[in-house]
A = this chain, B = another copy of it.
């Protein structure tokens, strides 16, 4: 009897929720007409329990994920970020926004700006010049995994529409989550001997996970430490109306994990990737790598009398102790708290690379929206991805060079011609591919470190071949999602084994390659990209796994520096930019 009363109360609550969502939707539509969108963000450290385990996280205006930036193509975004952390700096990167004309607001500490000090406010200002699904996140140390991230959703201009239809637009960010602190992790990564942090404790769906508190090795004396009744960790629930089609934007902000995402029993039609329309294809599992964004269409076309699981699972790494991320796909008017009657769907086999490679290869530009790449490139850079040691310290390297940050950000050093600010010798253009066996642990583990960069001739076409290899463990090669700042690139091809410039380059897709800003290189495989060096600035290109970039897995491209406008003094203050003259 009381159950029925409760159920009926909750139904009215669900109706009110739906109504509120409609109102919010209408408000968004009316707000879209403004051309300048101004945000004031307060960044704080506070306790949150996103997976029921309470820890200190970094929030924006009290939230993690932070507020979603919603804008329309060509809008100007102004974000005033106030750093209320106690002794930690920050920098925020606008992931997927090319920053054309504003390379100084890319938000990449050490590359485009000095870090933002505690107690100060930094104002980012940039144009969102393309519609699509983008991200923002900390780009300083490993702060991103402390919770400082969110979404940027850019709509089409009034009167324009996507080449696909849907009834509602929804957005979720997938993440993995650690219980120990970033400092703990960083100390382990930088230690000799290396101490690996292990796999994450949980997977979050839009900032909500569910750690099994009773699985804590010892029950905590602090009853507040882990509590599954915290509202922070009530599962993400997507309420859908039977028969309706949803555009679901899905992004990954994982610090480590490659993920498979599925909605039990529902097909996902992939229509967007990193802001570009995709020739539609259907998947049950969407594989998604850190830094990628997709839109999928999903129709609520299954038995409406029950709810369904939304799950994320780790692939490409063995992580048996990390429970899957779980949300609920709620068919209105079912009770939002009603669990699906089934067990959650099984995850793909973690170490089966083939379906992941197949999905990568299936992503093509949509007919009618193809941007044809230049037929040939002016330069080819091959980047061998390896795990190494430098003075006994574990590192990741590119062509056996492990990246280190200079004290003066590259953009400032280049623009102000501070030639002693970083190593002027560029890193190698490739590796000794004739004599390198990518399938074995290398007898010589050693690498060197450098802060040298690749200078690209302006307006040239550059190919990059990402070449994967064996790690320092036998029979092990990892998946690395590489993210390029300031550009989209065409994805010309993926392959297994060692890239062969004669055999493989001839098979490039020059007809309908997708453009992206983040792309995986699969275990023991290669990925070929092409981009135009047409955006004056200095741009990071790096593995989006937080610990890998921290350990040196990245490079920097610079182009058209002479075309970069006057740098704002707000990006300065570190290295040789303490005291530069700004009239």
Q: Chain A interface (Cβ within 8 Å of chain B)?
A: 45-47, 56, 86-90, 114-115, 117-120, 140-143, 181-184, 186-187, 216-221, 405, 407, 569-570, 572-575, 577-582
Contact = CB atoms under 8 A, between A and B. Distances in A.
Contact of A87 (B141, B569, B570, B581): B141
A82 to B, nearest CB: 11
A186 B570 CA distance: 27
A107 to B, nearest CB: 15
B114 A117 contact: yes
Contact of A577 (B89, B90, B140, B579): B579
Given A45-B186, A87-B143, A87-B182, 20 more contacts: A45-B183, A47-B187, A56-B187, A86-B141, A87-B115, A87-B140, A89-B89, A114-B117, A114-B573, A115-B117, A117-B407, A120-B574, A216-B221, A218-B218, A570-B578, A572-B579, A573-B573, A573-B577, A573-B579, A578-B582
Nearest to A406: B119
Contact of A119 (B117, B186, B405, B579): B405
B86 A183 contact: yes
A186 B407 CA distance: 28
A45 B187 contact: yes
Contact of A56 (B140, B183, B220, B577): B183
Contacts of A87: 88-90, 115, 140-141, 143, 182
Contacts of A120: 407, 574-575
A117 B581 contact: no
Contacts of A56: 183-184, 187
Nearest to A222: B217
A218 B220 contact: yes
10 contacts: A45-B183, A56-B184, A88-B88, A89-B118, A114-B578, A115-B117, A118-B141, A573-B573, A579-B581, A581-B582
A143 B182 CA distance: 17
A45 B56 CA distance: 18
Contacts of A181: 181
When A and B form their complex, which 7 residue pairs have the shortest distance between CB atoms, in order from nearest? A217-B221, A569-B579, A579-B582, A573-B573, A87-B141, A573-B578, A218-B221
Q: Which of A56, A405, A573 has the most CB of B within 10 A?
A: A573
Contacts of A187: 45-47, 56
A572 to B, nearest CB: 5
Contacts of A581: 579, 581-582
Contacts of A89: 87-89, 117-118
A181 to B, nearest CB: 8
Contact of A186 (B86, B141, B573): B86
